[in-house]
Structure 1
């Protein structure tokens, strides 16, 4: 049985837009979900957002199945998979400003 949260039930609209765009591989919608100058880290290391998203999401078929949300939808635990690394359990913490994702921090959960 699949207990994943449907994207439409994610509580934070900016996070919902981010996950929906990621899962549909829609670069335009993904960029629209981000605030200007958005930043990110992966396993505690600052990364170049454009390079990381191209490598880990768009050129490798990234997909996120959300298991749970907390902190009003700003913290997710998800099974993340792509063609490079396979599937792993990950945590995602989002900072939203002006209705857009200004920062996200991801890493293994």
Structure 2
């Protein structure tokens, strides 16, 4: 069973996941702090390049299976047109109501 994006506990994470799932690049960056960072499978990546490749250029979508840590840690089935579907883990750091860092990788 999946958790709809609008039911996620943390408002900042909820906004980011909703932006990913609606393929809304403007809302995605609005949900992030200006200096936000991220990593994929333990390697820091350029956020704009990664999001263009893994989300917006390939129609990325998250089906959240579970959340913990007050909604700042997720397990989700993530799919995009490049890689297909995979089980992923996501952790988020939130500052001033926006995501300042997220880390993702295979679960």
TM-score (norm 1): 0.97
| Cα distance in 2 for residues equivalent to 1:21 and 1:42 | 19
Partner of 1:49: 47
Structure 2: tracts of 5 or more residues without a match = none
| Cα distance in 2 for residues equivalent to 1:39 and 1:101 | 9
| Cα distance in 1 for residues equivalent to 2:54 and 2:6 | 23
Structure 1: tracts of 5 or more residues without a match = none
Partner of 1:62: 60
Q: Which residue among 27, 36, 39 is the counterpart of 2:37?
A: 39
| Cα distance in 1 for residues equivalent to 2:5 and 2:52 | 21
Q: Equivalent residue of 1:68, what SS? A: strand
Cα deviation digits, residues 28-65 of structure 1 (max 9, x gap): 11010000110000000000000000000000000000
| Cα distance in 2 for residues equivalent to 1:27 and 1:83 | 17
Instruction: Name the Cα RMSD after superposition.
Output: 0.4
TM-score (norm 2): 0.99
Give the 5 Å matches for 1:1-109.
3-109=1-107
Q: Equivalent residue of 1:51, what SS? A: helix
Q: Equivalent residue of 1:84, what SS? A: coil
